[in-house]
Chains A and B, each alone.
Chain A
Amino acid sequence: MINQILLGLSTGAMYSLVAIGLVMMYKVSGVMNFAYGNMGMFMTYVIWWLSSSIGFNIFVSIALGIIFAALMGILVERYGLRPIRHLSHGSMLIVTFGILMILEGLAVQLWGTEYKSFPELITGAPYVIKGDFGIMVIRRQDILVFSILAVVSIAIALFTKFTKFGIAVRAVSENEEIASYMGINVGSVLAFSWAFGTAMAALVGVIAAPKVFVSPTMLTFYQIQGFTAAVLGGFETFTGAVFGGLLLGVIEKIVGNYISEGFKASISLVIIVIVLVFFPNGLFGRRVRRRA
């Protein structure tokens, strides 16, 4: 049981990372990025290509890939979304669907549909801890995921609390117009949020790739689970995103174990529906009163 939970937490940590990126984009720019998974997928392909075809070291490729991802996020926001910010959020959403389709087509066009294997970043025997509770097995990959999640969460917390730009990010997510009156460069904050979000997507792609292989639909399911995690967390806070993801991972693991793997997506749908109906602000959200 404890190992199941641990495995669940490890998958959940991935969902948390997805959710953090989604929430960052949503909080600042007000767009739910449905192309998120495919942006990560595309960048994972790029990283795979850099390391296997060009022959860069895998870590250099990852670093380059994440930089490219950030650039892509900036470009998409600047030229795809900002021109229609004044129109409606609906049309921005539709643009992200368009990007989703293009990236998927592009990946198929460039690299074909067969699955590509991706090297594990950390290998080695798992740690085994024995105690009163039984045997606990921790894989090294799990430790990697947990530490990345921890680093990212703490970095975001410190960044948004103590740096000037981080405070600007918070200000823009509260109220774009007033933030701009206060002398904040809203454009650069928007660009940052997308750069950050897309970089997170690439990171998630890299971590997930050894398990799910590099393929055009590799992150679709992660994206849905990321949404579910964000909904659980209320879509407004990073804390919510982190804990929502972890919780979802555990629930999914338990359900998969005791009922069936075939119900995974249905479970997230049920969770979304239940949360939306009974906890409209998420499990960790606070009630926000706004003038309409």
Chain B
Amino acid sequence: MLWIWLILALLPFLLLKSAFIITILSLVGIYALATLGLNLIMGYSGQISIGHAAFMSIGAYTSTLLVMHYNIPVVFGIILGGITAFIFGILIGFPALRLSGFYLAIATMGFVVAIEQLFSYFEHITGGHAGIRNIPFPFLWNSDVEKYLLVFAFLFVAYVVADRLINSKTGRAWMAVRENEIAASVMGVNIAWYKVLAFAIGSMFAGIAGALYAHVIGYIAPSDFGIAKSLDLLAISVIGGMASIDGPFYGALIYVAMPFLFSRSNFSLSIIFGALLIFVVLFMPLGISFYIKIFRMNYFNALIAYLKKSRRPFGMFVQTPVGRIHYIKHGSGNIPVVLVHGNFASSRFFEPLIKKIPEDQFTVYALDLPNFGFSDELPGDVSIEKYVDALESFVKTLGINNFILLGHSLGGAVAMGYAVRHPKNLAKLVLVDPAPIFGMPRYDESAYKIIDVYRKNPDMIKRALMMNAPNYDDEKFFDRITSDALRMAKKAFIGNAKSLADYNYIDKAVLLEVPVVVIYGDKDVILDYESMKKTAEAFPKGKLIVLKDIGHSPVIEAPEEVIKHLTDIVT
């Protein structure tokens, strides 16, 4: 998502002529920042606050007074404003902890009214009801652009902080507290600490946003941050999506843009915004960001998937009875090895293994199974037996005999299928985290439908592949594999997963006289030790090797180990 931030950073330079729009965008950023804080409080830790504008007020006045009276640089003023709001957040968050329910809402409502009243009361410091005018903003070149960039910088940092917090222990603790406080405390979550933390950090964001508001607009009054503004912030949060970190951006955009949409009709905005709030709560409780996310996953990412699809074959083609098969060949040794890849992969998946393999000893053939990579699509339904047919014709066409067959994951099932058909043609069978010999369990139909989401979301494929290879960090490699995976036949996305439940070689395996090695990484998140043990025991000469701290993909995580087991019996 970095490119979106890049566009946002460059945006003001494209709009140099229209200072007005830049200011509007700064305002969107300010409200997004404040609401991001509110989302931490409401959406993630489940505390309803309607005093959020009070913290904006505190930040705004702190920063303004420091900058105007003590000549502190604006940036430090803003940071100090945030810190002051943080402290007040702790002070307000603590008493509200004592009781669950609506008490925090009441306390925060009292707080926002009290703050407004107090700031009006201390006239000699705050300027009273009239507020403070002409708040300075020392600029170097273009005040609007610089203001925008200042807002942008703070927003970016806050976004990253929020993102990191949410996807960490803290965020999980918040969500646990939100869902069920008792269950969370039983799991060892310190409820008080996490609730106050969320409240304080959320308040700090509001404080920073308020300080930015003061310097961008140049004028503040206590009534700018009253209960009405608090409710607006709450509405922004709910409309955008409470438990999301991009929701505030959409909500703030709507909030700031709406006056311009309705400027001609002279219609009260409060009615529209209130009605929108109720509509969202009743009919789309997850907020706009959820629908935008769904749209992205279904349509926008499909475009990216189309663009990312790999287009240049990197190996050779061979014409077989089941169609054209794409493969790579490496080495000139006299022991032939055939490598069969798994689901969401291609012959390229074996690159790290091929690099390490002794060239003078082996000749390696790695193929793209049909439906995968650059090989042709197979007609009809997907099944493991059809893949076995394809492997059979591939081997026959190239005239490979007495070879070592290595299969990984889904390829493991294909390799087993080949082995029970042509036991005589094999020197050895190596199964690396293979699909179990009796097949995978069959899942509910709806579970398979989810897999189709991958077809349109390259990022998800990449993350899934990386999760299955926790010890291999070359992102470029995974990008290439993902591009190949996107070439998979449309039907194969669901078809492959279903086909894995449709075979069982356990009866035929008994007759296999070839040595079989099953390699299993004990950090595998797909397969379990028991089924691997059963797979190894199904073969008369089966042997199970467990690799410590290796995930589902030993061929790329620990190629040396795999190569060692290719050779140990042959030599």
Residues of chain A whose beta carbon lies under 8 Å from any beta carbon of chain B: 32, 34, 80, 83-84, 87, 89-91, 93-95, 97-106, 108-109, 220-221, 224, 227-228, 231, 260, 262-266, 268-269, 272-273, 276-277, 280, 292
Contact = CB atoms under 8 A, between A and B. Distances in A.
Given A98-B275, A224-B109, 15 more contacts: A87-B285, A89-B101, A97-B234, A97-B235, A98-B278, A99-B278, A104-B274, A109-B267, A109-B268, A109-B271, A268-B110, A269-B110, A272-B106, A276-B95, A276-B96
Given A32-B102, A34-B50, A276-B107, A91 B281 contact: yes
Contact of B48 (A87, A93, A265, A273): A93
Contacts of A227: 106, 109-110
Contact of A89 (B102, B106, B107): B102
A146 to B, nearest CB: 26
B275 A97 contact: no
Contacts of B105: 32, 34, 93
A273 B277 CA distance: 29
8 contacts: A32-B102, A80-B282, A108-B268, A227-B109, A227-B110, A269-B111, A272-B106, A276-B107
Contacts of A87: 285
Contacts of A90: 42, 46, 48
Contacts, number: 132
Given A101-B231, A227-B109, A280-B99, A94 B281 contact: yes
Contacts of B235: 97-98, 101
**Which of the listed residues A98, A231, A262 has the most CB atoms from chain B within 10 Å of its own CB?**
A98
A241 B378 CA distance: 76
Given A93-B105, A268-B110, A101 B271 contact: yes
A276 B103 contact: yes
Contacts of A221: 113
Interface residues of B, number: 45
B17 interface: no
A265 B117 contact: yes
Contacts of A102: 270-271, 274-275, 278
A292 B271 CA distance: 38
Contacts of B273: 101, 105
Contact of A292 (B42, B116, B182): B182
Contacts of B231: 97, 100-101
A101 B274 contact: yes
Contacts of A94: 48, 234, 238, 277, 281
A277 B96 CA distance: 8
B172 to A, nearest CB: 20
B257 interface: no
